Amino acid sequence: MGVAGRVGYAVVGLGHFAEHVVLPGFGASRKSRVVALVSGDSAKAHRLARKFDADETYTYDNYAQCLANPQVEAVYVATNNSTHAVYTVQAAAAGKHVLCEKPMATSVAECREMLDACRTHNVRLMIAYRKYFEPGSLEMKKLVQSGKLGRLKIIHSAFSIYMRPGGTRPAWHFNRRLAGGGALPDVGVYCVNSARWVTGKEPVEASAYEWTVAPEAFREVDENVAFRLNFPEGLIMQGTASWGGAKDSFLRVVGEKGWVMLDPVYQYDEDRHLYGRINGRWFEKKYQVMNELALELDAMADGVRRNREPEPNGLEGLRDVAVMEAIYQSAREGRPVSISYPDLGN
């Protein structure tokens, strides 16, 4: 696809991830290009526009002018979690497609607003889960759903990074109103989504426990959450989200005939190792680091150009938020909580 045929994007929000992962992803994309940047820091926007060949820059205050730019066909929303909904709804009303960072929003109600706006204005909404396009994760999903593991029994997954206020992360991460939570929506959402995506099953009940060893730093948001998700047919997931440990992640699925493990699973800058034992036979594969953002952008471009629903779509993002709401409720109330998924006519 030539440059003229690429989907033109405005990137909204220029934090660390946008600067160091999202924007470089456009350079490797065959089907998407960045044409505009939106930020509260004009100097930073101009600097990054020069670096990544964006034609225009805008502030949040003149976001409407950005959406009026005919070169902008889609927006990549990478702002704080509490503003995902407002920027998505505005973009949809202007006829722009949306690729939104995870978590989709801070509540199921906000997710519904986003879905309704995109459906009303007939634009595509995709949630930025990179692993849907990474070869190791795809191979794991294929193996799990092939039936070779037998009846699925146990899922183990964890994602940890070390986070404290005053570091490289902006202060909004430690503000519940702006972030919606701490470790769970930041890194735990990957565990929740992966269990659903890899198995093709939906959890029906959540149990959780939240704790911290640094209460002065985590007054509003969670440092650590351990949770159990009950799926139909006796499948149980044990998950952990933490801002208190070194960077690490894994996903392990155990069935009656074997097990498979991807380690690390959620990082974007480390080689992946897929291994396991099925019917007594050991196997292992390795996957080198690749630009997952470019694959994600290309998948969204296909949805836009071919007028088809992207994967993962907004409904997947909403279901993850519904699961996390149940996890938080369980941690607060100290009891198992049934997971409720809104009826959206699907």
Is residue 38 classed as helix, strand or coil in its secondary structure?
A: strand
Going by C-beta distance under 8 Å and a sequence separation of 6 or more, which residues neighbour residue 311?
126, 132, 299
Q: How far apart are CA 36 and CA 52, in angstroms?
A: 10
Q: Which of 63, 76, 129, 190 is catalytic?
A: 190
Active site residue 58: no
Strand order in the sheet with 244-255: 281-287, 272-278, 258-263, 244-255, 152-162, 236-242, 224-230, 205-211, 337-338
Extract the tokens encoding 92. 């949809």
The DSSP element (H or E) to which 64 belongs, if any, is helix 63-67
Going by C-beta distance under 8 Å and a sequence separation of 6 or more, which residues neighbour residue 329?
206, 337
Could you tell me which of 269, 271, 188 has the C-alpha nearest to residue 16? Answer: 269
Q: Which of 102, 131, 266, 328 is catalytic?
A: 102
Active site residue 190: yes
Active-site positions?
Answer: 102, 190
